[in-house]
Structure formats: structure tokens, C-alpha cells
């Protein structure tokens, strides 16, 4: 199936590889294979959040965007993308503080996306178990 074939109403079209309008040597200028390799090589302790957020905001396939989101150190940067079901799942799974309970409950109640609600529910159960055992 091609990148734009078969996309359903309500879903955004995505593009494989660099967008034709993007030139240069930035990460978004890489094809998907090279970009995923670069994402996999990101160390835990990095200063690349700005670059990673560019990938998250891009029109790349959701898998590429999720891989970038998984590596963002400052999870608060992902909050602006919580409505994106693919990024919302990653964000929900990274919440582990007591104050995150309210946000997870809000996601469960308000998200239009089943995948985000399920991820938030699973993380809320995990979070409650951690803090109840402590």
C-alpha cells in the first residue's frame, strides 16, 4: 500500500522519506530508514529534544514520529501533542508521578482515541500500584 493509498477519512496523509520541500542536511531530510537508524542511536542523555520534536511535528509516518517521541527527554514538550493519538500513547506511558494521575484521568475521560485511552488506563493502574505500594 502506498503512502497515501487507503488512508481513511479523518486520518492525516503521511509521506515516506524527506518531504520534497525540505532541503538541507537536517534529520527530516533523511529517508525513513536513515532517520530510524539515527533515532535508534540517540543516547539516553542527549540534548536533541528540539530535533526530536521537529520529527514529532512532521508529516512522517506515525511509527517514525512515535520513535522520536520515545526519545524526547523533556516529556512536557510532548504535552502539546497529546491530542495526536500516536504521540498521546507515548506520553501516557511515560507518566509516573503522583501529579500525573489527574492528567491521565483527564485523558481517559476526554480522548477521542481508543489507543490513547487504553494507554492512559494502563499507565494509571501502574501508577496507582506504584504509589499505593510505596
pLDDT in tens, 45-76: 899 999 999 999 988 888 899 999 999 998 88
pLDDT number for residue 134: 53
64 and 112, same domain (yes or no): no
| Containing structural domain, residue 45 | 1-73
67 and 4, same domain (yes or no): yes
73, 90, 123 - which closes a domain:
73
61 and 13, same domain (yes or no): yes
37 and 101, same domain (yes or no): no
101 and 114, same domain (yes or no): yes
Angle at 64 between CA 60 and CA 66, to 5 degrees: 115
89 and 120, same domain (yes or no): yes
| Cα(95)–Cα(58) distance, integer angstroms | 23
Domain count, the chain: 2
CA dihedral 53, 50, 42, 124 (to 10 degrees): -50
pLDDT number for residue 32: 87
73, 103, 124 - which closes a domain:
73
Does this model's pTM top 0.85?
no
59 and 79, same domain (yes or no): no
| Burial of residue 42 (number of CB atoms within 10 Å: 0-12, 13-18, 19+) | middle
41 and 107, same domain (yes or no): no
Task: Take residue 68 and report the three cell numbers written for it.
Answer: 522520536
Low-confidence ranges of the chain (pLDDT < 50): 1-7
Amino acid at each position: 500500500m502506498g503512502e497515501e493509498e487507503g488512508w481513511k477519512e479523518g486520518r492525516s496523509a503521511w509521506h515516506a522519506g524527506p518531504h520534497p520541500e525540505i532541503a538541507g542536511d537536517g534529520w527530516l531530510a533523511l529517508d525513513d530508514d536513515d532517520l530510524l537508524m539515527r533515532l535508534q542511536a540517540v543516547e539516553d542523555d542527549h540534548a536533541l529534544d528540539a530535533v526530536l520534536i521537529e520529527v514529532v511535528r512532521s508529516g512522517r509516518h506515525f511509527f517514525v514520529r512515535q520513535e522520536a517521541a520515545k526519545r524526547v527527554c523533556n516529556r512536557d514538550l510532548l504535552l502539546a501533542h497529546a491530542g495526536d493519538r500516536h504521540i498521546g500513547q507515548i506520553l501516557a506511558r511515560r507518566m509516573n508521578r503522583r501529579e500525573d494521575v489527574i492528567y491521565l484521568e483527564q485523558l481517559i475521560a476526554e480522548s477521542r482515541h481508543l489507543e490513547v485511552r487504553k494507554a492512559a488506563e494502563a499507565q494509571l493502574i501502574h501508577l496507582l500500584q506504584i504509589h499505593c505500594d510505596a
